Amino acid sequence: MVVGLGTWSLARAALIILLLPRSLEECGRISVSAPIVHLGDAITASCIINRTCSHLDPESQIVWKLGTELQPGGRQQRLPDGTQESTITLPHLNDSRALLSCCLRWGNSLQILDQAELQAGYPPATPHNLSCLMNLTIESLICQWEPGPDTHLSTNFTLKSFKSRGNCQDQEEAIPDCVPEDGQSRCSIPRKHLRLYQSMGLWVQAENVLGTSVSPQLCLDPMDVVKLEPPTLWALDPSPEVAPPQPGCLQLHWESWKSTQYIDQKCELRHQPQPGGANWTLVGPLPSKTLQHELCGLLPSTAYSLQMRCTRWPLPGHWSDWSPSLELTSAQQAPNVRLDTWWRQRQLDRRTVDMQLFWKPMPVEEDSGQIQGYLVSWRPSGQAGAVPPLCNTTELNCTFHLPSEVREVVLVAYNTAGTSRPTPVVFLESTGPPLGRLHTMARDPHSLWVGWEPPSPRPRGYVIEWGPGPPSPSGSHMTWKMEHNGSIAGTLLQENIRPFQLYEITVTTLYQDTVGPSQRIYAYSQETAPSYTPELHLKHIGKTWAQLEWVPPTPELGRSPLTHYTIFWTNAQGQSFSTILNASSHEFVLPGLEPASLYHVHLMAASQVGATNSTSLTLMTLAPGEFELHIFLGLFGLLLSLICLCVATRFCCRPSRKNSLWPSVPDPAHSSLGSWVPSIPAEEIFQLPSLWDTSMPPITKITVLEEEEKKPGPWESHESSGTCGLPALVQAYVLQGDPRASTIQPQTQSGNTDQVLYGQVMGSPSRSGPADYIRCDSTQPLLGDLTPSPKSYENLWFQTSPQRTPEPLVPNQEDDCVFGPLLDFPLLQGLQVHGVEGLGGF
């Protein structure tokens, strides 16, 4: 069995035992030199393994643990009886509570064989400051003490006492011990164990496992240590038998606790003005038999908090606790103030004046008494008795009507203690000299300095009035003050001054028998930013610009003047632009806008104290119109045409390019065909190919003209180009391929447009003889510089038909063509014409 093993250590040991192998449960036990030692002392422990544990290795090693830390220094030996013993000495036990374990190495782990709880602490200190109080309410002697420092061990305190006589040298009768509750250092001895007015001895004993200590003995009479209950304070009710308190005085009474009414006692009173913060003032001692008291020397009309305590007197005793606070207000005194007055008057009719009187109480001394109201009165001449007042008010102004001849009223302040000294108010005429230059200056947002030039002669004082200026009604919420020093040249206004508010300030001079005319000025303690920004208007708009305009704001009182404008515009892509304008500007043109684009524009008006923004204006620039598009396209087309014309002109005027624009047709007169003579007789009829040979280019184009006797036939050709205006029917034939081919094929004019007409063959079916030809003076470049008709030596004449003789054609002088025989050209020797039978001799 381990001595002093706590509940928690037992539970832990039981859990460890359950985890041990059953073969090790009874193998070892721990024994310690002392389970509880002084904190810091050494302790020795031993662990013995029984010889019954035969399954253990004879060389098994015992290991020690203190808490969770392994402890070296264990000495292990085998005893003669076959048991194994391990002994360890811990030089310093510095923990007030620790668990020592004896362990055995079992494989790779440590198995706990046994555990012991170690405790360390101090012996109890001597209790001190033992004191006792006799509470008559609960009829018990209550004693308390100070136990001293913590011992870290369980310590028991006991209040011991005995009855005695004299100075407690002899003990007559023991009184039962008083054991306090756990953790407390006070204990109560009931009245039944006490003997009043008889001495008794008391002391406190402290005890733990390491020792015992007792306090010094206290010898007392229970009635000498009586502590009374605090009294209850009351305000003294007014009555005819009791005179009312004087100004600055309080009247109160109190009541003692019932159980202490038979005990002679004295009391103390303390008071503190409210609200709290000041120190308490102690008054006393007060006799308890009277149970009432008048406290004077206080501030009039001031709330005070009062508390009282009492003690046994003249016998010894303890002071009671302070009673709960009682709050009373000291008696008032008549107001002791000087009333500064000012007035305004307005003539209602010939016999009545409307008067508005203002006043301010100015305390003459620190304690001037509380004012409950004001009276304004006027006593008509010759009237006796009480006169109803013109005003009875708690305000600082009053409006009333007076006869026009009345020039004076009387003003007094009053409270329950009386009235102040009467203040006469004389309504003086405004005939004095006026002030000089009046000016103001703002010191800060909540004050204004008003300055002037004192007039001559010097006045006795000034009245300064100020209040909200226009548009507020004149005289509304006016504040005023009076300066009694007539030599000053200004005053600081700090009451009811707010920033951004226009104030109307009026200064009036006061003389001995008159007043001067009022001088007025307007001022601000601080100006504010513009109240609004002009609204933007769109004046004109184009595709890449927009003209905006606005109406400049009118100057406002209390508003700082504008210094500049800033105009901002943002496109649909979020790109922002801005520019700064002078305060005198009233329009602006937005440059560099995109056609058919959306923009958001707003204007900011700024002054020295702030800025405001206008509402946003959304606009869209114009898109390019259809008329402008047509003009643009027309100009572009004209420019392109001019460029093309210039390029073509330059290209055509170059000599190397002159003949490349049309086909180059050789001139038969200058070709080698001029010496060519066909071997085929003229009588032979050659057949043209029946089909057009596409592989052979056309050689020439021949037009056959036939004279018409009366009217043209249905085969007449309407082609007029190259006919030179001759009245003959024309039919074109194209000679292509071998002239000996047996087929002929007429070719229409819609064939090759590149064929060049340079010859015409004329014939008539009603006329015999060879056909003629016509050569025109053509300007075609294919003919080059050839003459209009060939010379006689440049052509070979065709053989004439034996049946006909050539008949030369007589040319018309009006035509450009030259008539001649058909055989002027060598190529015509192989030409066979179809469709005109009259040309058979051709």
Do 97 and 148 share a domain, yes or no?
A: no
Instruction: Residue 110: give the domain boundaries.
Output: 18-121
AA identity, residue 46: S
Contacts of 635 (CB under 8 A, 6+ apart): none
Contacts of 724 (CB under 8 A, 6+ apart): 760, 774, 776, 815, 816, 817
AA identity, residue 192: K
pLDDT band for position 713 (cuts 50, 70, 90): very low
User: What is the share, in percent, of the chain residues with pLDDT greater than 70?
Assistant: 71
pLDDT band for position 826 (cuts 50, 70, 90): low
Instruction: Please indicate whether residue 381 or residue 722 has the higher confidence score (pLDDT).
Output: 381
Number of helices (H), then strands (E), in the chain: 2, 52
Residue 693 has pLDDT above 70, yes or no: no
Question: What pLDDT, on a 0 to 100 scale, did the predictor assign at position 507?
Answer: 94
Distance between CA atoms of 706 and 708, rounded to whole angstroms? 6
- Average per-residue pLDDT in the chain? 76
pLDDT band for position 678 (cuts 50, 70, 90): low
Question: What pLDDT, on a 0 to 100 scale, did the predictor assign at position 799?
Answer: 42
CB 302 within 8 A of CB 329: yes
Question: What pLDDT, on a 0 to 100 scale, did the predictor assign at position 649?
Answer: 86
pLDDT band for position 685 (cuts 50, 70, 90): very low
Q: What is the CATH number of the domain that holds 284?
A: 2.60.40.10
Question: What pLDDT, on a 0 to 100 scale, did the predictor assign at position 228?
Answer: 87
Q: Which tokens hold the place of 522?
A: 């307007």
Do 38 and 62 share a domain, yes or no?
A: yes
Q: Of 187-191, 262-266, 510-514, give the lowest mean pLDDT range.
A: 262-266
Residue 574 has pLDDT above 80, yes or no: yes
Other beta carbons within 10 Å of 216 = 11
Question: What pLDDT, on a 0 to 100 scale, did the predictor assign at position 565?
Answer: 93
Q: Of 381-385, 409-413, 450-454, 597-601, give the lowest mean pLDDT range.
A: 381-385
Does the residue 805 lie in any domain?
no
AA identity, residue 467: G
CB 829 within 8 A of CB 678: yes
Residue 676 has pLDDT above 80, yes or no: no
Q: What are the pLDDT digits (tens) for 44-95?
A: 999 888 777 645 666 678 888 888 888 887 888 888 877 788 899 888 888 8
Does the residue 83 lie in any domain?
yes
CB 284 within 8 A of CB 295: no
Contacts of 535 (CB under 8 A, 6+ apart): 550, 551, 614, 615
Contacts of 771 (CB under 8 A, 6+ apart): 704, 761, 762, 763, 822, 833, 839, 841, 842
Residue 712 has pLDDT above 70, yes or no: no
Residue 633 has pLDDT above 50, yes or no: yes
pLDDT band for position 398 (cuts 50, 70, 90): very high
How large is the average pLDDT for residues 255-274?
Answer: 84
Question: What pLDDT, on a 0 to 100 scale, did the predictor assign at position 672?
Answer: 57
Q: What are the pLDDT digits (tens) for 14-29?
A: 333 333 444 455 677 8
Distance between CA atoms of 736 and 644, rounded to whole angstroms? 39
Distance between CA atoms of 775 and 309, rounded to whole angstroms? 164
Q: What is the CA radius of gyration of the chain?
A: 72
Domain count, the chain: 6
Question: What pLDDT, on a 0 to 100 scale, did the predictor assign at position 425?
Answer: 92
Do 408 and 449 share a domain, yes or no?
A: no
Instruction: Give the largest Cα separation in the chain, rounded.
Output: 208
Do 222 and 235 share a domain, yes or no?
A: no
Cis peptide before 147 (omega within 30 of 0): no
Q: Which tokens hold the place of 117?
A: 């709880």
AA identity, residue 104: L
Do 511 and 471 share a domain, yes or no?
A: yes
Contacts of 291 (CB under 8 A, 6+ apart): 253, 254, 255, 256
Instruction: Please indicate whether residue 462 or residue 106 has the higher confidence score (pLDDT).
Output: 462
How large is the average pLDDT for residues 460-475?
Answer: 83
Question: What pLDDT, on a 0 to 100 scale, did the predictor assign at position 708?
Answer: 43
Residue 751 has pLDDT above 70, yes or no: no
Q: What are the pLDDT digits (tens) for 199-220?
A: 899 999 999 888 999 999 999 8
Distance between CA atoms of 242 and 163, rounded to whole angstroms? 52
Question: What pLDDT, on a 0 to 100 scale, did the predictor assign at position 807?
Answer: 44
Do 321 and 374 share a domain, yes or no?
A: no
Do 323 and 375 share a domain, yes or no?
A: no
Residue 720 has pLDDT above 90, yes or no: no
Residue 814 has pLDDT above 80, yes or no: no
How large is the average pLDDT for residues 760-777?
Answer: 48
Q: Minimal CA–CA distance to 717: which of 705, 696, 703, 731?
A: 731
How large is the average pLDDT for residues 163-192?
Answer: 87
Task: Give me the torsion for CA of 201, 206, 209, 210, rounded to 10°.
Answer: -100
Other beta carbons within 10 Å of 306 = 22
Question: What pLDDT, on a 0 to 100 scale, did the predictor assign at position 671?
Answer: 56
pLDDT band for position 464 (cuts 50, 70, 90): very high
Instruction: Please indicate whether residue 449 or residue 713 has the higher confidence score (pLDDT).
Output: 449
DSSP letter for 219, please: E
Residue that terminates a domain, selected from 621, 652, 681: 621
Does the residue 190 lie in any domain?
yes
Distance between CA atoms of 689 and 832, rounded to whole angstroms? 12
Does the residue 773 lie in any domain?
no
Q: How far is the CA of 454 from the CAs of 331, 451, 490, 505, 827, in angstroms?
A: 46, 9, 9, 17, 140
Does the residue 4 lie in any domain?
no
Question: What pLDDT, on a 0 to 100 scale, did the predictor assign at position 630?
Answer: 75
Do 566 and 484 share a domain, yes or no?
A: no
Q: How far is the CA of 730 from the CAs of 89, 139, 724, 834, in angstroms?
A: 157, 169, 11, 13
How large is the average pLDDT for residues 426-446?
Answer: 89
Q: How far is the CA of 482 from the CAs of 35, 366, 369, 375, 690, in angstroms?
A: 92, 20, 22, 21, 141
pLDDT band for position 810 (cuts 50, 70, 90): very low
Question: What pLDDT, on a 0 to 100 scale, did the predictor assign at position 461?
Answer: 93
Question: What pLDDT, on a 0 to 100 scale, did the predictor assign at position 505?
Answer: 93
Please work out, in degrees rounded to the nearest 5, the angle formed at the alpha carbon of residue 198 by the alpha carbons of 192 and 200: 80
Residue 40 has pLDDT above 60, yes or no: yes
Distance between CA atoms of 668 and 826, rounded to whole angstroms? 8
Question: What pLDDT, on a 0 to 100 scale, did the predictor assign at position 601?
Answer: 95
**Bridge pairing between strands 352-363 and 576-582:** unpaired
Is the overall model pTM greater than 0.75, yes or no?
no
Does the residue 829 lie in any domain?
no
User: What is the share, in percent, of the chain residues with pLDDT greater than 90?
Assistant: 25
Q: Which tokens hold the place of 42?
A: 């050494």
Does the residue 158 lie in any domain?
yes
Q: Minimal CA–CA distance to 536: which of 576, 566, 512?
A: 566
Does the residue 664 lie in any domain?
no
pLDDT band for position 282 (cuts 50, 70, 90): very high
Residue 148 has pLDDT above 70, yes or no: yes
Query: Sheet of 729-735: strands edge to edge?
Result: 729-735, 700-706, 757-762, 772-776, 817-821
CB 481 within 8 A of CB 492: no
Task: State the DSSP string of 508-552.
Answer: EEE-SS-BPPPEEEEEESS-B--S--PPPEEEEE-SS-EEEE-PP
Residue 183 has pLDDT above 50, yes or no: yes
Half-sphere exposure of 551 (CA within 13 A, CB side): 5
Residue 798 has pLDDT above 80, yes or no: no
Beta bridge partners, 541, equal 546
Q: Is 593 helix (H, G, I), strand (E, B) or coil?
A: coil
Question: What pLDDT, on a 0 to 100 scale, did the predictor assign at position 57?
Answer: 65
Residue that terminates a domain, selected from 576, 592, 621: 621
How large is the average pLDDT for residues 807-824?
Answer: 46
Q: Minimal CA–CA distance to 43: which of 99, 118, 124?
A: 118
Do 265 and 280 share a domain, yes or no?
A: yes
Question: What pLDDT, on a 0 to 100 scale, did the predictor assign at position 23?
Answer: 46
Q: Minimal CA–CA distance to 197: which of 159, 225, 162?
A: 225
Do 85 and 144 share a domain, yes or no?
A: no
C-beta pairs of 564-567 under 8 Å, 24+ apart in sequence:
564/606, 565/603, 565/604, 565/605, 565/606, 566/603, 566/604, 566/606, 566/611, 567/601, 567/602, 567/603, 567/604
Residue that terminates a domain, selected from 173, 199, 226: 226
Question: What pLDDT, on a 0 to 100 scale, did the predictor assign at position 144?
Answer: 92
CB 193 within 8 A of CB 176: yes
Do 317 and 412 share a domain, yes or no?
A: no
Question: What pLDDT, on a 0 to 100 scale, did the predictor assign at position 745?
Answer: 41
pLDDT band for position 159 (cuts 50, 70, 90): very high
Question: What pLDDT, on a 0 to 100 scale, did the predictor assign at position 392?
Answer: 94
How large is the average pLDDT for residues 675-687?
Answer: 47
Do 311 and 247 share a domain, yes or no?
A: yes
